[in-house]
């Protein structure tokens, strides 16, 4: 499956408007979310960390002079979609990882950043537990990340 195919499937099912670039950006946070939900308990500290990452990303996607309502709307859309994925990750997880692997292979410098974000998510609340460690190892192997 390509990024464009996944984008078309996802946005049609969710009835949302995201450009392919915005969707690709959202996908890079899916592994962080996967780590958060791996222990079946996403607390306020983990959501706070994820919200901070998404807020930072909306600044990257929108020039500072466009940082008003459009940026706020994108942040809200990203949050809505990650909340959706909290409860509906299973049918999307393999597709997301497959597409994300291709993206990361084309941008290897992003791999280290993603690895750090997954570890930081696991540390955000009471340290890294066994389920989070296993999920990080699985995602890292699947995406070709260094442990």
> DSSP secondary-structure letter at 68?
T
Low-confidence ranges of the chain (pLDDT < 70): 58-67, 147
Q: Can you give the pLDDT at residue 64?
A: 56
Entry pTM: 0.86
Phi-psi region of 63 (alpha: psi -120 to 50; beta: other; left: phi over 0): beta
Q: How many of the other CB atoms lie within 10 Å of CB of 9?
A: 13
Q: How many of the other CB atoms lie within 10 Å of CB of 134?
A: 13
Q: Can you give the pLDDT at residue 20?
A: 93
């Amino acid at each position: 499956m390509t990024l464009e195919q996944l984008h078309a499937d996802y946005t049609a099912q969710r009835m949302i408007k995201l450009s392919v670039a915005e969707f690709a950006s959202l996908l890079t946070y899916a592994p962080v979310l996967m780590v958060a939900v791996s222990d079946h308990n996403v607390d306020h500290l983990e959501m706070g960390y994820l919200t901070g990452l998404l807020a930072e990303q909306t600044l990257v996607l929108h020039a500072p002079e466009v940082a008003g309502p459009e940026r706020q709307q994108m942040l809200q859309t990203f949050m809505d979609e990650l909340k959706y994925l909290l409860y509906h990750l299973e049918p999307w997880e393999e597709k997301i990882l497959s597409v994300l692997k291709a993206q990361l292979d084309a941008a290897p410098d992003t791999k280290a950043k993603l690895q750090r974000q997954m570890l930081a998510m696991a540390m955000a609340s009471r340290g890294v537990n066994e389920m989070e460690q296993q999920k990080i190892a699985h995602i890292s192997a699947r995406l070709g990340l260094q442990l």
